[in-house]
Amino acid sequence: MHDHSPEHVRLDKWLWAARFFKTRGLAAEAIDGGKIQVNGERAKRAKPLHLSDELRIRQGPYQHIVVVRGLSEHRGPASVATQLYEETPQSLAARQQLAAQIKSMNSALRGSGERPTKRDRREIERFRRRED
């Protein structure tokens, strides 16, 4: 195994090694889909990453803004992967706020967990007709 840190690493390999994606293929799909930005610009899979590059990574409703702190082409344990980057405090706060909003929305939507009664369905239908 190599102990030397490479000077630069392909973007798709780094995203996989830093455990943002389970496979390099998924990382490549995200890059091709425009969900990854390097230093504010859309990047390609083979873009060489350097230390202190800033990445915007969109995964579902969440967006991570991280600064590259280490380079690796090899996927290791999660404890090692977290040392490859540092998430900005603003990004962390925004993600936590969004997670709380989604959690509260889900609990509000779930309600009592029961199916609507016939009366509830009639009210829903009346409401839908009023919107049209």
pTM: predicted TM-score of the whole model, two decimal places: 0.76
- Per-residue pLDDT of 84-106, as tens digits, reads 999 999 999 999 999 888 888 87
Instruction: Classify each residue of 70-89 as buried b or exposed e, where b means 16 or more C-beta atoms within 10 Å of its C-beta.
Output: bbbeebeeeeebeebbeeee
Q: What is the DSSP letter of 129?
A: H
DSSP strand pairing (62-68 vs 54-59): antiparallel
The rounded distance, in Å, linking the Cα atoms of 72 and 80 is: 10
Parse the chain into domains and list their residue ranges: 1-87, 89-132
Is the model's pLDDT at 74 over the cut of 90?
Answer: yes
Mention the CATH class of domain 1-87: alpha beta
Distance (Å) of CA 132 to CA 62, 69, 116, 118, 128: 33, 54, 22, 22, 7
